[in-house]
Amino acid sequence: MKSKKWLFVAIIFAAMVMGFLSMKRALPEQQNERMAKEIKLYSPYTFEKRIGGLTIVDKRDGRKEKPSAAEVYLRMDELNKEWGAKHLRVENSDLIIMGYNNQTVVKVFIQNQDERDYLHHFYGL
């Protein structure tokens, strides 16, 4: 009787660990609040609410992506990283956001090392 009880407890524990790991894997990367807010103003990707969850909309051409609820934030991070690799540049203590003709749209001052580390880690700049 005791072995059945321990087997039941072990299965419950394993299910909890697997659930925790899958939730952790579905979370988006940690972002610097100020820099992410500044960059988000110029990013071409936004969320649109729908009955089944969230849709990612490209503001440039209206194209919509409908990833699963577990993958929506991860996909948004991927799209922003791809866009940032082409349209973001760091010069001295400024982040330069460029348009589609390689024109400078705006310069954002990098205030501290945490923001610089975020840009390096998230966007690879």
Tens-digit pLDDT profile for residues 50-85: 887 889 999 888 899 898 887 888 888 899 999 988
pLDDT at 46: 92
How many CA atoms within 13 Å lie on the side-chain side of 106?
10
What is the model's pTM? 0.75
Residues of the chain whose pLDDT is less than 70? Answer: 1
The number of residues making up the chain comes to 125
Query: Quick check: 95 and 112 in contact, CB under 8 A?
Result: no
SS percent in the chain: helix, strand, coil, step 5? 50, 25, 30
